[in-house]
Amino acid sequence: MNILVINCGSSSLKFQLIDSDSEQVLAKGLCERIGIDGRLVYQAAGGEKEITEVSMPTHTEAVKLVLDALINPNTGAIKSLEEIDAVGHRVVHGGEEFTTSILIDEEVIQAVESVSDLAPLHNPANLIGIRACQQLMPGVPMAAVFDTAFHQTMPEKAYMYALPYEYYEKYRVRKYGFHGTSHSYVSKRAAEILGKPYESLKTIVCHLGNGASICAVKNGKSIDTSMGLSPLEGLVMGTRSGDVDPSVLEFVAEKENLDMQQVMNVLNKESGVYGISGVSSDFRDIEEAADQGNKRADLAQEMFCYRVAKYVGSYAAAMNGVDAICFTAGVGENSGMIREKICVYLEYLGVKLDEEANKKRGVDLVISSSDAKVKVLMVPTNEELAIARETAGLLK
Ligand code: AMP
């Protein structure tokens, strides 16, 4: 079955065409600068990457260009659109409504719309992508795969904020968590690699990318995660602050004469390792600057690792133990230095890295030493494949 996986942002659209039987990527790419000018990046399996500057005023034109590229007689991956059996859409926020992926109909679209105020930057863009695909591929089944769904198993004590209860009742203010597709994929893959039943393991997944979150997976279910109502809570990230005392918002707003929206912008876009280092939000730049003696870049790295380690410790407590700790996403898969800095804090749990294995990058691998009590793994995440699997699963 050929599944087109679509991840639609406000001005971008990432796509992959995946054969869900062989799990091969047939073609992939992205549309950037939608509504500004437009650029299509397209690459068929085994082919060269093609970059075309082309006008795409709306997402509908972007999807049209993707479909045209997929059936292009020279470089296309398929002969006709009839070879696309289904579309899997990444949808960021499913609220409390969606605990699993679901086939899209008008009712689902309305339910996604109804929780859009919880993710005003993401859900509207996801919906535009869905509408554009419906328009251009009428009759093709489509699935919504939610970032929040995997975390809907969290118990009340983990997802509630200690605020007046009526905010939950009236507005559903609570922790939702994100990166669920990745946490689910990686924790399952870890069980496979370890040859243990998924339902028997206590796993902590550290998804460390530009956005970063941690998840405690007990017996195959998410029981806690570091992101909250929005993806701002929790770890120090590329440009997001993660946890701060909420009083800081009021204090800074007053001192800098900022309104709430401006303060939120600072927390989302000008903070994290970027805000601390003043160098970059990219961990490679931070590492380079720290190596050259930049003290603030070094501090940013140290703060990032310290926060991750504290969360791992708290989730080991929440699960009354931990069998496996997984590192994934851009930083987690590539930076042995960051993994090592984090794991040093965790020796008390029985974590011990195999130095040679930890030098590797971007492969499925156990990186703890053979005598370590807690297994540490590097597991490259693959959210597109997980979305394709979910979509194919719904159609079976
Ligand atoms: P993601 O959001 O998962 O795509 O991850 C993006 C982040 O991964 C960026 O901050 C990159 O700097 C970081 N990254 C990618 N490769 C490396 C590397 N070799 N070492 C450190 N960080 C990396």
**Per residue in 65-110, pLDDT tens?**
999 999 999 999 999 999 999 999 999 999 999 999 999 999 999 9
Catalytic entry in 19, 147, 224, 298: 147
- Tens digits of per-residue pLDDT, 144-192? 999 999 999 999 999 999 999 999 999 999 999 999 999 999 999 999 9
Q: How far is the CA of 300 from the centre of ligand 1 (A)?
A: 15
H, E, C per residue of the chain? CEEEEEEECCCCEEEEEEECCCCEEEEEEEEECCCCCCEEEEEECCCCCEEEECCCCCHHHHHHHHHHHHCCCCCCCCCCHHHCCEEEEEECCCCCCCCCCEECCHHHHHHHHHCHHHCCCCHHHHHHHHHHHHHHCCCCCEEEEECCHHHHHCCHHHHCCCCCHHHHHHHCCCCCCCCHHHHHHHHHHHHHHHCCCHHHCEEEEEEECCCEEEEEEECCEEEEECCCCCCCCCCCCCCCCCCCCCHHHHHHHHHHCCCHHHHHHHHHHCCHHHHHHCCCCCHHHHHHHHHCCCHHHHHHHHHHHHHHHHHHHHHHHHCCCCCEEEEEHHHHHHCHHHHHHHHHCCHHHCECECCCHHHCCCCCEECECCCCCEEEEECCCCHHHHHHHHHHHHHC
Q: How many A from CA of 180 to the centre of ligand 1?
A: 19
Q: What pLDDT, on the 0 to 100 scale, is given for residue 9? A: 86
pTM as predicted: 0.95
Q: What pLDDT shows up at residue 362?
A: 86
pLDDT for 221 equals 98
Q: Which atom of ligand 1 is nearest to the CA of 381?
A: 3
Give yes or no for a contact between 224 and 233, defined as CB atoms under 8 angstroms apart.
no
The per-residue pLDDT for 118 is 87
Q: Does the Cβ of 283 fall within 6 Å of ligand 1?
A: yes
Nearest CA to ligand 1 atom 20: 335
Which atom, in ligand 1's list, is nearest to the CA of 287? Answer: 21
Pocket test for ligand 1, best of 208, 273, 331 (most atoms within 8 A of CB): 331
301 lines ligand 1 (CB under 6 A): no
Report, as ranges of residue numbers, the positions in the chain whose pLDDT lies below 50.
Answer: none
Q: Give me ligand 1 centre to Cα 333, in Å.
A: 8
Catalytic (active site) residue 224: no
